[in-house]
Amino acid sequence: MRIAVIGAGLAGLTAARTLHDDGHSVVVWEKARGPGGRTSTRRGPDGMRFDHGAPFLHDGPLALEGLEALGTYAVNLPGGAVRREVVGIPSANAPAKALAHGLDVRPLARVETILRAGDGWHLAGEDGGALGSFDSVIVTAPAPQAAQLLAGAAPRLAARAADVEFAPCWSVMAAWGSPLDLGFTATEDIPGIACAVADGAKPGRTAGERWVLQADEDLSTAYLDVDADEVIDLLLARWFERVGRRADPVHVTAHRWRYARPRTPLPETYLREDTLLVAGDWCGGASAGAAVRSGADAAATLVAA
Ligand SMILES: Cc1cc2nc3c(=O)[nH]c(=O)nc-3n(C[C@H](O)[C@H](O)[C@H](O)COP(=O)(O)OP(=O)(O)OC[C@H]3O[C@@H](n4cnc5c(N)ncnc54)[C@H](O)[C@@H]3O)c2cc1C
pLDDT at 62: 61
pLDDT tens digits along 130-146:
999 999 999 999 999 99
168 Cα–ligand 1 center, Å? 12
Question: What residues are in contact with ligand 1 under a 6 Å CB criterion?
Answer: 6-12, 29-32, 37-39, 53-59, 110-111, 140-142, 145, 149, 169, 171, 214, 257, 260-261, 280-281, 287-288, 291
Q: Quick count: other Cβ atoms within 10 Å of Cβ 115?
A: 12
Predicted TM-score (pTM) of this structure: 0.97
pLDDT at 68: 82
Mean pLDDT within 26-30: 98
Question: Whose Cα sits closest to atom 34 in ligand 1?
Answer: 7
Q: Which of 5, 27, 29, 38 to mutate to test the pocket of ligand 1 (most atoms within 8 A of CB)?
A: 38
In the chain, CATH 3.90.660.10 covers 42-92+166-262
Write down the mean pLDDT value for the chain: 95
Question: Whose Cα sits closest to atom 27 in ligand 1?
Answer: 9
Q: Report the C-alpha gap between 159 and 146 in whole angstroms.
A: 10
Annotation: CATH topology of 2-39+95-164+267-304: FAD/NAD(P)-binding domain (3.50.50)
115 Cα–ligand 1 center, Å? 25
pLDDT tens digits along 76-95:
999 999 999 999 999 999 99
Of ligand 1's listed atoms, the one at least distance from the Cα of 110 is 42
Nearest C-alpha neighbor of 12 from the set 267, 277, 305: 277
CATH of region 42-92+166-262: 3.90.660.10
Helix, strand or coil for residue 183?
coil
Q: Report the C-alpha gap between 296 and 300 in whole angstroms.
A: 6
10 Cα–ligand 1 center, Å? 7
pLDDT at 172: 98
pLDDT tens digits along 231-262:
999 999 999 999 999 999 999 999 999 999 99
Radius of gyration, CA atoms only, the chain: 20
Helices (H), the chain: 10-21, 94-100, 143-150, 155-162, 217-222, 228-243, 288-304
- pLDDT over 80 (residue 152): yes
In the chain, CATH 3.50.50.60 covers 2-39+95-164+267-304
Mean pLDDT within 23-44: 97
67 — pLDDT class (breaks 50, 70, 90): confident
275 Cα–ligand 1 center, Å? 23
